[in-house]
């Protein structure tokens, strides 16, 4: 996909023609797992020992942890011919971000791709790097739930996990996957936190840090748009599909009215959010019951509009209100 | 092929000892789609307003349900959604009627609407009109009672009131939710239907039927359970009239049995 066409990828494609895809893609995951500093080291090494590449490449497919460095070596080596020290040194940083964002998105998509298994593998590894579940799923099942709970990426990772066992065609990719697996294997217990930290990076990127003064949130838990979240603020917020709606639910559920299907409003007096229907032709259910008048929302309430289920999470309540300070 | 009606339904409306009939009832079967409905509305408000209110509620129900049921193939989802939408429509028409009458004009009505869909039974209930299921010799009230009665009966259970005191309690018929053009604090409208079996009997009423205790109603049903719906309904009416209650309220009785096929 277009995501793979990162500057570094293109660089690599130009250089290592035979393995271009593998190489291009492999860089992303590998680097992204490792911390930036590790990347630099890797790159430095790679730049230093550019020759070793092709052999390590093949062998490493079947080999385990130590091959990690050679990986970099090989890939970076591919770069070396074209670009000298400068470029690569800069790239890794960018790459980190790029690949990170990929992880989030590309992992679920990956299985769908027709492209060579290679691409498939990419998705796998990406998520491996970030979420850290894929490799463990087969190895240590016990740990998976614990991880799945805290990390939101759980869902994608599971999907990936399914994909992971299947392929394995491209040797190059195999190697990469293993590198990570074993890497995690070394310090499984501790890496959870570390991996969470790493996975947190892309999240902070996608969400623009704004002062929204939230009073609560809505999270779509089922139906079109599952996984989306919406910040609730003060004032009357209409729910509808149109883009002028404060709570826009335009994920493909056409059973939702264009505008004013339902409303949510925060009442600073009693520090509660209220849910009401938008008109006599629009039905919204709260915890299974039709909403016929304005009802106070409590944390965890389930709102259903058409085929879309939304969970309400409160922020402002008896314990906190923005007026407090 | 001749379509046999899916349900045997009987309706009775009796004024009791009151000056006007404020109850309203409607039923219809849709044999093509194996469906039917019964709606009961118990109106309240002075100067004939109660009659208007119950009629508005029944009309809103019919408008909402007929549209969904007068079709070749029905959409169960939108049909089930039509129940609360009917209540909202009813509430809106009562609100606009109140507005036309000017300040301080008030009227309201209960709404008990039951939708029969094959063997599935959906309902919506706002107020205190009871919806009973008679199954295997036992009667149970399926819908919530939006009056003070449950709270008063709870006091009996706690021992703070005698059964006698509870039955005569002045607040017993005080409603906690009603369709009156304003906020509707409580609505009973389960998403999951009740599954009807062939021998079940469904009984709807206005609270005038509750001149009989639940166990008295159960006795009547047990005795006539194999009779036609109209005979069962009539037996219930006779039982109420036999009580000769001096201030007998308006009385609505609706009985439905699935037709054996």
**CA–CA dist A225, B45 (Å, integer):** 47
In B, which residues are within 8 Å of A289 by CB distance? 187, 189
Beta bridge partners of A264: A237, A275
**What backbone phi and psi angles, to 5 degrees, belong to A26?**
-60, -35
What is the structure's pLDDT at A262?
Answer: 94
Query: What was the pLDDT predicted at A279?
Result: 76
Name the residue in chain A with its Cα closest to that of B191.
A288
pLDDT in tens, A16-37: 444 444 444 444 444 444 444 4
Query: Which residue matches tokens 């499984």?
Result: A188
CB B245 within 8 A of CB B60: no
Give helix A20-33 / helix A171-186 axis angle, nearest 10°: 10
pLDDT at B255 > cutoff 80 = yes
Q: pLDDT tens digits, residue range A108-131?
A: 444 444 444 443 444 334 444 444
Best mutation target, A292, A293, A304, A308, to test chain B (most B CBs within 10 A): A292
Calculate ∠ Cα B17-B110-A281, nearest 5°. 150
Q: How far apart, in whole angstroms, are the C-alpha atoms of residue A141 and residue A68? A: 24
Cβ of A280 within 8 Å of Cβ of B184? The answer is: no
* Residues from chain A contacting residue B87 (CB–CB below 8 Å): 290, 292
Cβ distance A294 to B191 less than 8 Å, yes or no, reads no
Q: What is the mean pLDDT of residues B215-239?
A: 97
The answer to whether B191 contacts chain A (CB < 8 Å) is yes
pLDDT of residue B259: 84
Mean pLDDT value across residues B235-252: 96
Residues of chain A with pLDDT > 90, as a percent, come to: 29
Mean pLDDT of A192-203: 62
Buried b / exposed e over B47-83, threshold 16 CB at 10 Å, is eebbbbbbbbbbbbbbebbeebbeeeebeeeebbbbb
Summarised one tens digit per residue, pLDDT across range B55-70 is: 999 999 999 999 999 8
Average pLDDT over residues A223-238: 93
The radius of gyration of chain B from alpha carbons, rounded to an integer in Å, stands at 18
- Can you tell me the mean pLDDT for B86-110? 91
The pLDDT value given to residue A1: 42
Q: Token pair of B114, please?
A: 């039951």
Partners of B88 on chain A (C-beta within 8 Å) are 277, 280-281, 283, 292
Q: Which of A287-291, B100-104, B220-224 has the highest mean pLDDT?
A: B220-224
Q: What is the pLDDT of residues A52-96, one digit of tens each?
A: 444 444 444 444 544 445 444 444 444 444 444 444 444 444 444
Average pLDDT value over all residues in chain A: 63
User: Which structure tokens are listed for A158?
Assistant: 């599971």
Query: Residue A174 to residues A30, A105, A117, A181, A314: CA-CA distances in angstroms?
Result: 12, 21, 10, 11, 45
| pLDDT for res A198 | 63
User: B196 — phi, psi (to 5°)?
Assistant: -90, 135
pLDDT band at B210 (very low <50, low <70, confident <90, very high): very high
Cα–Cα distance, B119 to B26 (Å, whole number): 20
What is residue B108's three-state secondary structure? strand
Instruction: Kindly state whether B190 is in contact with chain A, defined as any CB-CB distance less than 8 angstroms.
Output: yes
Return the DSSP state at B188: B
- Distance (Å, rounded) from C-alpha A135 to C-alpha A180? 8
pLDDT at A261: 94
As a whole number of angstroms, the distance between CA B166 and CA B159 comes to: 11
Separation of alpha carbons B10 and A35, rounded Å: 77
**Residue B108 with chain A: CB contacts under 8 Å:** none
User: For residue A110, with 0-12 CB atoms within 10 Å meaning exposed, 13-18 middle and 19 or more buried, which class applies?
Assistant: buried
């Amino acid at each position: 996909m277009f995501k793979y066409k990162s500057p570094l990828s293109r660089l690599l494609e130009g250089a290592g023609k035979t393995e271009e895809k593998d190489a291009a893609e492999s860089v992303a995951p590998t680097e992204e797992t490792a911390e930036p500093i590790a990347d630099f080291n890797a790159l430095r090494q790679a730049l230093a020992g550019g020759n070793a590449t092709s052999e390590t490449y093949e062998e490493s497919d079947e080999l385990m942890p130590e091959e990690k460095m050679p990986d970099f070596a090989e890939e970076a080596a591919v770069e070396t011919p074209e670009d000298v020290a400068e470029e690569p040194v800069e790239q890794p940083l960018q790459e980190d971000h790029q690949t990170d964002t990929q992880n989030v998105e590309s992992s679920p998509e990956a299985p769908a791709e027709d492209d060579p298994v290679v691409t498939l593998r990419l998705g796998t590894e990406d998520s491996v790097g970030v979420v850290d579940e894929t490799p463990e799923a087969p190895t240590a099942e016990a740990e998976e739930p614990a991880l799945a709970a805290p990390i939101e990426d759980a869902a994608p990772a599971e999907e990936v996990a399914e994909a992971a066992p299947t392929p394995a065609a491209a040797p190059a990719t195999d190697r990469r996957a293993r590198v990570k697996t074993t890497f995690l294997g070394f310090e499984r217990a501790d890496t959870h936190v570390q991996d969470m930290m790493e996975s947190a990076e892309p999240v902070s990127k996608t969400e623009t840090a704004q002062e929204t003064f939230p009073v609560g949130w809505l999270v779509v838990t089922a139906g079109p748009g599952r996984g989306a979240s919406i910040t609730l603020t003060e004032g009357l917020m209409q729910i509808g599909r149109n883009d002028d709606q404060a709570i826009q639910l335009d994920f493909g559920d056409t059973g939702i009215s264009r505008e004013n299907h339902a409303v949510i409003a925060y009442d600073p007096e009693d520090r509660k959010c209220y849910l009401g229907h938008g008109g006599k032709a629009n039905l919204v259910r709260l915890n299974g019951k039709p909403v016929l008048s304005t009802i106070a929302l409590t944390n965890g309430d389930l709102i259903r509009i058409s085929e879309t289920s939304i969970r309400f999470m409160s922020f402002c309540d008896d314990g906190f209100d923005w007026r407090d300070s | 092929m001749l379509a046999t009606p899916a349900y045997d339904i009987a309706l009775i409306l009796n004024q009791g000892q009151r000056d006007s009939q404020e109850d309203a009832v409607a039923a219809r079967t849709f044999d093509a789609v194996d469906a039917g409905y019964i709606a009961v509305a118990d109106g309240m408000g002075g100067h004939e307003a109660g009659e208007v209110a119950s009629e508005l509620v029944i009309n809103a129900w019919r408008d909402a349900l007929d549209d969904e049921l007068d079709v070749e193939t029905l959409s169960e989802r939108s049909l089930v959604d039509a129940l609360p939408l009917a209540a909202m429509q009813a509430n809106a028409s009562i609100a606009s009627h109140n507005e036309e009458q000017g300040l301080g004009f008030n009227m309201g009505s209960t709404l008990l609407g039951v939708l029969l869909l094959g063997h599935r039974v959906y309902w919506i209930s706002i107020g205190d009109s009871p919806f009973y299921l008679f199954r295997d010799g036992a009667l149970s009230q399926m819908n919530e009672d939006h009056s003070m009665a449950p709270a008063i009966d709870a006091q009996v259970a706690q021992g703070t009131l005698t059964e006698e005191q509870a039955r005569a309690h002045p607040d017993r018929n005080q409603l906690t939710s009603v369709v009156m053009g304003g906020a509707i604090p409580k609505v009973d409208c389960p998403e999951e239907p009740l599954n009807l079996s062939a021998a079940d009997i469904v009984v709807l009423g206005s609270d005038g039927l509750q001149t009989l205790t639940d166990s008295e109603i159960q006795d009547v049903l047990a005795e006539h359970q194999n009779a036609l719906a109209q005979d069962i309904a009539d037996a219930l009416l006779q039982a109420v009239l036999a009580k000769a209650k001096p201030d007998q309220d308006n009385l609505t009785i609706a009985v439905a049995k699935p037709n054996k096929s």
